[in-house]
Amino acid sequence: MGYSGLLEWVKFNNPMDNAYYPYDVYNLPYDAGAKLWELLGGLLGWLINLLVPGNRLSTWLISDAVVNAFAIIFLAVILFAVGFVVNLTMIWEERKVLGRMMDRRGTKIGPLGYFQCLGDGLKTFMKENVAPADKDKKIYWWALSLVIGSSVLIACMVPLSHRWFVVDYSTGLLLIFGIFALAPFFILCAGWAQNNKYSLLGGIRAATLMISYEIPMLILLASVVLMAGSFNINDIVNAQFDTMWYIVPQFIGFIVFVVCAIAESERVPFDLAEAEAELVEGWQTEYAGMKWGLIMLGDYFRGYTACALIVILYLGGWMLPGIGATAVPELVFLLKIFAVFFIFIWARASLPRVRIDQILNIGWKRLMPLSVVNLCIVLLLKMGGVF
């Protein structure tokens, strides 16, 4: 047991050799976290061992369990941080593109106006925390946390590439959709708890809208899963690389999915839940200051998830046709997300808000049959042996 040199303490193991490694495949953020801890913990252990030779703390610090625990915490932090930065970039993209479409400048603070969101975030943070006196206190706070929490959770669930993910279950997509579907319930609760008529109407509208648009979305998910033969996101992306992007055989599905995704992330033209013209701010009316700021952040996390789902299901995920995964597949994936988000912004700039009965008409009478048609096309292709 001669712990003489530093190198014996700081050894960069293959993370997959770790006894507690939670995945079957390589995970980059986990590896980075493990390596970081092996460096820090190794240095610390070496120093402690110099002072008190042969102590048990030093060896515990670089044991598999501690490395694994740190790596998982690091994984969570890095995924949230990356998600946060991507969201800021999407907000910046939206404000900039929207500005140009409306013949104005958009954001201006910082290089290309990138830091405007930070300023706005700071502003909302410094606002007084106003809440109605006669609210339903428990539900008011819990519903808010759950709306934001579920939105952030799904955004972090989305893998950025085959090596950048949180969960790699065989039913990864179902998990994402399941959490996606939770929000309407919380929004309904939040609308009720504020004791405000506008919030109540907004909450009911949001729930109605989201529930009716989830159904065509799930049918489309079924067609993609049927075509790829798996619920695993990795498999779906690989299947698209092997054959072709699913936007080609399932073009109808792509269009319907984009419409549903805009509705699910409550954006114009389907933002009737917060229709500011008649409902002031909809179900968010009584959430002032930073609460509103966090709701906005949650909205963008949902938008990000919706874009990511479109990219995964129809646009080949992080793969490029003919090339496959590049050296930085995460970047390819994010660029595709920004490109899809451009469609969302475009719709926002050019369309008015749709009325609730018209939205339900579109959802049940147009999108629903179209998604079934898409499913039939997939079935025919599958039976014909094309895929």
Partner 1 sequence: MMKGPELDKMWITMGPQHPFSHGLWTLRVQVDGEIVVDAEPEIGYLHRGWEKECENRIYPKIIPMADRLCYSASMTWSHLYCKVVEEALDVELPDRARYLRVVADEICRIQSHLMWLAAVGTDLGNLTVFLWCLREREFFLDLNVRLCGQRLTTNYPRIGGVRNDMPYYFERDCMRAVERFEKALWEIIAITDESSLFVNRMKGTGILTREQVANLGITGPAMRGTGVDFDIRRDDPYAAYGEIDFEVPVLKDGDSYSRFRVRIEEMFQSCEIIRQAMAKLETIPKTHPYRIKVPRAVPEGTHVTRIEDPRGEGLMYLVSDGTDKPYRLKVRSPVFVNVSAAKPLVMGARVADIPAVMAMIDMCLGETDR
Chain residues that interact with partner 1, rule: CB under 8 A: 98, 101-104, 197-198, 201, 268-269, 271-272, 275-280, 349-358
What are the residue ranges of helices labelled H in 158-196? 172-180, 183-193
Q: Which of 115, 117, 140, 118 is nearest to 129 (CA)?
A: 140
Residue 291 Cβ, how far from partner 1 at the closest point, in Å? 20
Residue 342 Cβ, how far from partner 1 at the closest point, in Å? 15
Residue 277 Cβ, how far from partner 1 at the closest point, in Å? 4
Residue 376 Cβ, how far from partner 1 at the closest point, in Å? 27
Instruction: Yes or no: say if 96 and 113 are a contact pair by the CB < 8 Å rule.
Output: yes
Q: What is the DSSP letter of 366?
A: I
d(CA 251, CA 257): 10
Q: Which of 102, 119, 29, 93 is nearest to 350 (CA)?
A: 102
**Residues in a beta bridge with 319:** 325
Residue 198 Cβ, how far from partner 1 at the closest point, in Å? 8
Taking the least distance from each CB to partner 1, the nearer of 106 and 329 is 106
Taking the least distance from each CB to partner 1, the nearer of 134 and 357 is 357
Taking the least distance from each CB to partner 1, the nearer of 326 and 350 is 350
Taking the least distance from each CB to partner 1, the nearer of 24 and 357 is 357
Cβ neighbors of 53 (< 8 A, separation 6 or more) are 3
Residue 315 Cβ, how far from partner 1 at the closest point, in Å? 26
Taking the least distance from each CB to partner 1, the nearer of 38 and 271 is 271
The backbone torsions φ and ψ at residue 354, rounded to the nearest 5 degrees and listed phi first, read -90, 145
Peptide bond into 329 cis (omega under 30): no
Residue 201 Cβ, how far from partner 1 at the closest point, in Å? 6
Taking the least distance from each CB to partner 1, the nearer of 44 and 349 is 349
Taking the least distance from each CB to partner 1, the nearer of 102 and 335 is 102
Instruction: Yes or no: say if 370 and 119 are a contact pair by the CB < 8 Å rule.
Output: no
Q: Which of 102, 89, 114 is nearest to 348 (CA)?
A: 102
Residue 361 Cβ, how far from partner 1 at the closest point, in Å? 10
Burial 1-36 (b: 16+ CB within 10 A, else e): eeeeeeeebbeeeebeebeebeeeeebbbbbebbbe
What's the count of helices (H) and strands (E) in the chain, helices before strands? 15, 2
d(CA 335, CA 330): 9
Taking the least distance from each CB to partner 1, the nearer of 221 and 279 is 279
Taking the least distance from each CB to partner 1, the nearer of 282 and 329 is 282
d(CA 107, CA 122): 15
Residue 301 Cβ, how far from partner 1 at the closest point, in Å? 22
d(CA 173, CA 181): 12
